[in-house]
Amino acid sequence: MFRLDELVARLGGEVAGDAGVVVRRVATLDQAGEGDLSFLANRKYLSRLQGSAAAAVIVAPDARELLTDRPRIVTPDPYLYFARVAQLFNPPPVVQPGVHPLAATASAVPASVQIGPGVSVEEGVELGEGVVIGAGCHIGRGARIGAGTRLAPRVVVHHDCLIGADCVIHSGAVIGSDGFGFAREKDGRWVKIPQVGRVVIGDEVEIGANTTIDRGALDDTVIGRGCKLDNQIQIAHNVRIGEYTAIAGCVGIAGSTQIGARCMIGGQAGVIGHLRIADDVVVSAGTLVTKSINRPGVYTAGLPLQTHADWVRNFAHLRHLDTLVERVRQLEHQQGGQDDRNPG
Amino acid sequence: MFRLDELVARLGGEVAGDAGVVVRRVATLDQAGEGDLSFLANRKYLSRLQGSAAAAVIVAPDARELLTDRPRIVTPDPYLYFARVAQLFNPPPVVQPGVHPLAATASAVPASVQIGPGVSVEEGVELGEGVVIGAGCHIGRGARIGAGTRLAPRVVVHHDCLIGADCVIHSGAVIGSDGFGFAREKDGRWVKIPQVGRVVIGDEVEIGANTTIDRGALDDTVIGRGCKLDNQIQIAHNVRIGEYTAIAGCVGIAGSTQIGARCMIGGQAGVIGHLRIADDVVVSAGTLVTKSINRPGVYTAGLPLQTHADWVRNFAHLRHLDTLVERVRQLEHQQGGQDDRNPG
Amino acid sequence: MFRLDELVARLGGEVAGDAGVVVRRVATLDQAGEGDLSFLANRKYLSRLQGSAAAAVIVAPDARELLTDRPRIVTPDPYLYFARVAQLFNPPPVVQPGVHPLAATASAVPASVQIGPGVSVEEGVELGEGVVIGAGCHIGRGARIGAGTRLAPRVVVHHDCLIGADCVIHSGAVIGSDGFGFAREKDGRWVKIPQVGRVVIGDEVEIGANTTIDRGALDDTVIGRGCKLDNQIQIAHNVRIGEYTAIAGCVGIAGSTQIGARCMIGGQAGVIGHLRIADDVVVSAGTLVTKSINRPGVYTAGLPLQTHADWVRNFAHLRHLDTLVERVRQLEHQQGGQDDRNPG
């Protein structure tokens, strides 16, 4: 628990009102009660601010005087400030070093590392200081995991993959499974192309539950420093993603595509293979990217939601757009002829 | 095995024909043979009924006389009746209480509970009577699982999550992983917002294989009583889903969205964040819901399937719909002018 | 390591240039160096070929003389040849027979089988010669797995499922989870239909990480010989897929749909339930198939990508396509009338 003046001493910002107020928890405006610190990130929630029982509130300078009866921390980006306070109040669980007796480890494990029950660690694995390997994880031979990285239960890291420091990998994620690479015989049979590249993941990357990242075919699949990947994302072989790119749930990135730095890709979006996406590109939810994007900006392909009855009426025409365009062209042609005949 | 009159005594309905016929199994009309009970749920399968070797058939009242040479159970909803008979013939496997020696349990386990090999149960976990925890599951500290709930192998339930009674959770499901919450620094770096809410799941919920349900950021993620979730669904943090809603495979629901009771959401559909979907809404397969839905009904956004050649011809025009509309407006304008000039 | 003449003796093709050159590895044109064998599968990479440091190159007959200073193997399909060479250079890891002491096996295990730590094998399971069961897999009672099949860590195969010989199943895959089958009560509650069919998988099938294949409701779910399924695919109950069909990542196939032989289904595509897709059909990425396809060919439904601003301008009109078509019809009608009034 912290006093407001202690918080601003650590995290910056300025207190307005009673700086000696003690807060113990972060909470939403609606849920906050005694001892809770809340935040106003968006003016549209102003009515909730007025009704909130929060002991103190983080606000932007322009909202400084909206609530003069309540202690508040004033800072340019209340949501970012809230994130930092929340981290202060909720540090990650303390590492409990040691190897559980029901783990199978074939590599040296630093004394500072925590290895849960049911874990298997093959030969030649290097684990950094303070690494946490949750229950039931599997780490293949020759893999390396940087200091401070935490694997939730049931993560698989395949052989020779590299994971940076201070990463978080959530349950069910699979790092370094074979890429989908086959050559086709004349008769349709598929010949597997051994996938001998690795997955290389930078520092401070977070990877969501049941996300899969395939190893490269010959070269590596690369996830840049500070990237954040949500749940159930599929990253195919040889994809390269730049620093600090964030990808929402259920996205699929096909093979050999390169995505720039600081991109944001919405949920259920997809990117087909062998494309290049520039830095600072935003892709809307559900959009399939079918060509390279060379310039920053927001890109979208999506359909309007309708009642099913309206949709049936409208979308029958989509099959015949070319005919419709031709009919308009005909009309224009005839019109042009008439205009000639009837010159104003 | 049951006689038809035994079945109607237990489950209702009425026998037409020989009520003493014994059936041992449920089967489709095509596959059914001696001793099999089949059902006709849809008149379009009538020809299959006539060709079927089933010993007896469940039919609706209007089909009562379609097949007078075969014993039959007459009931208003043959499919529902079939479901109940199938449950009678195929009860879930008997619980085999006990903790496998290769499980790691740090909490008290009731004598009626079955815990498989490779399971890890952390401290402070409460398991109801008759709970089955399949091989390799992980149950985080403080989680609670209601009586009669069954977890298939390799399920992860994270700390402090609540699961109701009589639920079924399939392999690879992850309950309570961190929500995808980050604030952004000016330079693009992401600051993680600790996810301190829980997942709260009602009674009689079924959750499919490799489905992921994130814990709430501050409040909880809530799945209402009797909901049925198929495989590979992603439920983001702070989502709330009402009672008896069914969601088909590969659906994604983004953060803080609320879905009503008794909704049905088709496969690969998506709902973006912070929306509200009313009760009794049906969303078609593949539809991305991008705005709140306030009224019951069927909602769709989808494209007609075409041969690739037709698609190329048609869809080039989609980029220029605004131009097309403008051309039509021009034509209408000129037409209007001409009509004025040529009055009848 | 192989001399070029040794390779052609094993795999066919013809050497042009020094047949005694020794190659030790396969590599891309860009990455290849001393001792590396590369390939030119597509003329558009010709410039890379010219800049490559590869010791030797696999080329098609029409590219035979493009690079006369470098030893090369000439073959009609360089990519297929490359696949075979890559297999020669990168054989699968040698099976290390034996059952890990931290595995729980309730069935007889042939001496040639490798079973990793944390594995659970229930009663009545039959494993073929040389099967590899990776760490933490679960094999349910009565399942059968053919000779030479390899399961990566954390695969689940549920009871009574059949997997052919020489298959590869990647981490997190779930084979034989319950299909999504429920009948609905009048009040909206769902009654589970026990799923008593199996999953039957042919020989030489590869199944990607975190892919799920549900068991049949009454009959079986069937994956034909030589099919290749990428990561995070969902195959619902009673689906049947013909031989040598390849399915890219994140595809969903709904219940009871039948897909022919040698089809190729692009990433994030979907097929709704109860359809039939003919042999040799290609479905483009992201396409939702909503009706049966009776003829081979390429099928597509997709939207053009636009900047968000262009999209907003264009797609507003999609809701009103029926109105637009009506306006064009009106114009045509009036035009027709005018043409009558102004006959040439």
Tell me what pLDDT residue C241 has.
98
Find the catalytic residue in B237, B308, B317, B320. Answer: B237
Flag whether residue B70 sits within 8 Å of chain A, measured between CB atoms.
no
Flag whether residue A27 sits within 8 Å of chain B, measured between CB atoms.
yes
Residue C102 has pLDDT above 80, yes or no: yes
Distances (CA, A) of B149 to B9, B131, B211, C127: 29, 5, 17, 31
* CB neighbour list of residue A137: distance below 8 Å, 6 or more residues apart: A116, A119, A120, A151, A153, A154, A155, A156, A157
Find the catalytic residue in A138, A158, A170, A237. Answer: A237
Nearest to B252 among A116, A267, A303 (CB): A267
Flag whether residue A300 sits within 8 Å of chain C, measured between CB atoms.
yes
Tell me what pLDDT residue C265 has.
98
Residue C169: name the closest of C151, C156, C153 by CA. C151
CB C89 within 8 A of CB C75: no
Instruction: Give residues 128 to 147 of C whose Cβ lies within 8 Å of B.
Output: 136, 138, 140
> Which residue of C45, C231, C262 to mutate against A (max A Cβ within 10 Å)?
C231
Question: Is B333 a catalytic site residue?
Answer: no
Place of tokens 């396409």: C287
C292-306 confidence digits (pLDDT tens): 999 999 999 998 899
Nearest to A244 among B156, B190, B250 (CB): B190
Flag whether residue B87 sits within 8 Å of chain C, measured between CB atoms.
yes
C108-124 confidence digits (pLDDT tens): 999 999 999 999 999 99
Flag whether residue C340 sits within 8 Å of chain B, measured between CB atoms.
no
Which residues does chain C have within 8 Å of residue A250's beta carbon, measured at their own beta carbons? 250
**Predicted ipTM of the assembly:** 0.95
Q: Cβ separation of C304 and B321 shorter than 8 Å?
A: no
Distance CA B9, CA B12 (A): 6
Tell me what pLDDT residue B343 has.
40
CB B49 within 8 A of CB B64: no
**Distance from the C238 Cα atom to the nearest Cα atom in chain A, whole angstroms:** 24
Residue B304: name the closest of A287, C300, C295, A233 by CA. C300
Which helix (H) or strand (E) segment is C169 a member of? strand C168-169
Q: What are the helix and strand counts (H, E) for chain A?
A: 5, 39
Chains A & C: contacts with CB separation below 8 Å: 221
Confidence of residue A343 (pLDDT cuts 50, 70, 90): very low
Q: Which chains touch B (3 or more CB pairs under 8 A)?
A: A, C
Cα dihedral C225, C227, C232, C238 in deg (nearest 10)? -50
C223-250 confidence digits (pLDDT tens): 999 999 999 999 999 999 999 999 999 9
Q: Cβ separation of C193 and B116 shorter than 8 Å?
A: no
Distance CA A308, CA A296 (A): 35
Distance CA A50, CA A37 (A): 14
Nearest to A298 among C206, C307, C321 (CB): C307
CB C37 within 8 A of CB C17: no
Q: What are the pLDDT tens digits along chain B (344 aa)?
A: 899 999 999 999 999 999 999 999 999 999 999 999 999 988 888 888 888 999 999 999 998 888 778 899 999 999 999 999 999 999 999 999 999 999 999 999 999 999 999 999 999 999 999 999 999 999 999 999 999 999 999 999 999 999 999 999 999 999 999 999 999 999 999 999 999 999 999 999 999 999 999 999 999 999 999 999 999 999 999 999 999 999 999 999 999 999 999 999 999 999 999 999 999 999 999 999 999 999 999 999 988 899 999 988 888 888 888 888 999 999 888 877 665 544 43
**What is the value of pTM for the model shown?**
0.96
DSSP calls for C295-318: S-EEEE-----EEHHHHHHHHGGG
Find the catalytic residue in C138, C158, C170, C237. Answer: C237
Distance CA B147, CA B126 (A): 10
**Distance from the B64 Cα atom to the nearest Cα atom in chain A, whole angstroms:** 34
C157-184 confidence digits (pLDDT tens): 999 999 999 999 999 999 999 999 999 9
Query: A185: exposed, middle or buried (C-beta count within 10 Å: 0-12, 13-18, 19+)?
Result: middle
Single-letter amino acid, residue A251? V
Single-letter amino acid, residue B181? G
Flag whether residue C311 sits within 8 Å of chain B, measured between CB atoms.
no
C250-279 confidence digits (pLDDT tens): 999 999 999 999 999 999 999 999 999 999
CB A321 within 8 A of CB B323: no
CB B115 within 8 A of CB B133: yes
Residue A117 token pair: 């029950």
A247-272 confidence digits (pLDDT tens): 999 999 999 999 999 999 999 999 99
* CB neighbour list of residue C340: distance below 8 Å, 6 or more residues apart: none
Beta strand C297-300 with A25-26 is unpaired
Q: Which chains touch C (3 or more CB pairs under 8 A)?
A: A, B
Nearest to A156 among C87, C172, C312 (CB): C172
Helices (H), B115-249: none
Distance CA A88, CA B58 (A): 63
